[in-house]
Amino acid sequence: MPTVILGGGIIGLSTAYYLSLSTSPNAKDEIHVIDPMEHLFDCASGYGAGFLARDWFSPELSSLGALSFDLHEQLAREHGGHEKWGYMRSTAYGLQVQYADGQRSASGHDWLRQGASRGEVAVKRDKALEEEEASPGWLTDQVGGVVERISDVKGAAQVDPLRLCKFLLAKCIERGVHVHNPARAISLVKDPSSGSIIAIKARNQTTNVVSTIPCTSLVFAAGAWTPRAFTTLFPDSSTRIPVTSLSGYSILLRSPRHTLSHESDTYGGASHALFTTHPRSCAFSPETFSRGGAEIYLAGLNSAETPLPELASDAHGMMEKDKVVRVKRAAVTLMGRLDPNVTSRGKEGQGNIDDLEVIREALCFRPWTESGRPIIARIGERVLGNGVAGPVGGVFMATGHGPWGISMSLGTGKVVAEMVRGVRTSADVSELGLEWRMAKI
């Protein structure tokens, strides 16, 4: 029963991975992944933070969040995830700053309360941790700053998403999954008698050669590009897929206060996450994560206004210098070397010197829904358009995870694989459907 998955990011590959574990790698059970990128993971799947949470989610997502967190731990345990993709447990903190005039910043874990009560759930659960408030060694002391521990290693973890994606890709290929890239799905092939979909035509972006790929089940997992992929194959559908894009700038850096020695000796192989709102110095809500390999990742400068490019790799040419500078300034504020002779922070009378090494700057696009809930569901045929019959195995969609794509990737992949197989899902995703959210154009 051949399955075609549109999208070779972490959601698509997780689906292919779990589907390959439940099927025999033979012609009847072929799995095909189609992606237009020459180099996979050149967007959110490769440039994401890699922060994992177990129970920071709203009720509609709690079952999936817990499943995915446990699967991340299981996968790391079975395949050496600490060494191969930097899997480690994490402790999360919120930083609140009291200014001289009495103004107080937020702790930075409030911004996701719409849809996913990230900080609210964590704080309620971990009130007992307030007695042990220690800040990460790489965090510069902030004047008027108060650090609160909002989650411990039982409920948070960290990975390098790029290395995790490469591992999943290698395992998929090892198990016989066919990866077509750079290739784009361009049209459907229908059975002349029944009218149902029996294959997908895909064009190689380099050679222009069109191939016909058999299809019994079709999965849309193209991230922010899912609506475009859906419209290409089902142009007569009047359904608008309610997924937009949220762009985000990030930098990956090294600090002399977070070395391999700190990582192994001081932290015992664990990592730290920091959420804060620092309006006078940052003017946005930075998220900062220490990762394996003595790396620190900082992001949080997001926008829903940046237009989605044709290809994820096109984002490299869309980066705005002033926004990159803002992210770097936030890094210096939070992690630069403190020098009392520098007065760049005005009335506080002390400032930070940039002794940080920037490894990578990035702009990526995450799939976003207004509700904050992803779409993980089988798609009814009435969504496909008048007179269109889906493949006999069905059409499925997995997108809209927002900033939680890495965290929920494995759980989503397992659940979608179970949907394709027609078995009971391991997590309750009954409130993550599409049709009740459908908006007619």
pLDDT digits (tens, 9 = 90+) for 153-173: 899 999 999 999 999 999 999
Helices (H), 161-282: 161-174, 226-233, 260-261
Nearest CA to 365 out of 330, 413, 411, 403 is that of: 403
Q: Is residue 224 a contact partner of residue 218, using CB atoms and an 8 Å limit?
A: no
pLDDT of residue 341: 64
Hunting for tokens 């490299």 — which residue is that? 316
pLDDT at 129 (0 to 100): 46
pLDDT at 279: 57
Per-residue pLDDT, 243:
96
Residue 290 has pLDDT above 60, yes or no: yes
Q: Give the bridge partners for 93, in sequence order.
A: 149, 274
pLDDT tens digits, 174-227? 999 999 999 999 999 999 998 899 999 999 999 999 999 999 999 999 999 999
Q: Is 358 helix (H, G, I), strand (E, B) or coil?
A: strand
Position 1 scores a pLDDT of: 84
Decide if pLDDT at 120 tops 60.
no
Average pLDDT over residues 281-293: 87
Contact 196, 214 (CB under 8 A): no
Q: Residue 68: is its pLDDT beyond 70? A: yes
Residue 48's nearest CA partner among 188, 249, 347 is: 249
The pLDDT score that the predictor gives to residue 100 is 58
pLDDT of residue 283: 76
- Each residue of 3-45: pLDDT tens digit? 999 999 999 999 999 999 986 655 567 999 999 999 999 989 9
Q: What percent of the chain has pLDDT over 70?
A: 83
Looking at residues 248-264, what average pLDDT do you find?
A: 90
Interaxial angle between packed helices 161-174 and 10-21, expressed in degrees from 0 to 180 and rounded to the nearest 10: 40
CA 279-282-283 angle, 5° bins: 50
Q: For residue 351, what pLDDT band results from cuts at 50, 70 and 90?
A: low
Q: Which two tokens stand for residue 434?
A: 């599409």
Q: Cβ distance 289 to 270 under 8 Å? A: no
Q: What is the C-alpha to C-alpha distance for residues 191 and 75, in angstroms, rounded to an integer? A: 40
Domains of the chain: residue spans and CATH: 3-50+162-243+369-440 (3.50.50.60), 88-155+245-368 (3.30.9)
Q: What is the pLDDT of residues 301-342, one digit of tens each?
A: 999 999 999 999 999 999 999 999 999 999 999 999 877 665
Q: Could you tell me if 160 and 291 are in contact, meaning their C-beta atoms sit under 8 angstroms apart?
A: yes
Model pLDDT for residues 261-279, shown as the tens digit of each residue: 877 754 456 799 999 886 5
Q: Are strands 394-399 and 244-254 parallel, antiparallel or unpaired?
A: unpaired
Specify burial of residue 385 (Cβ count, 10 A radius: 0-12, 13-18, 19+).
middle
pLDDT of residue 127: 46
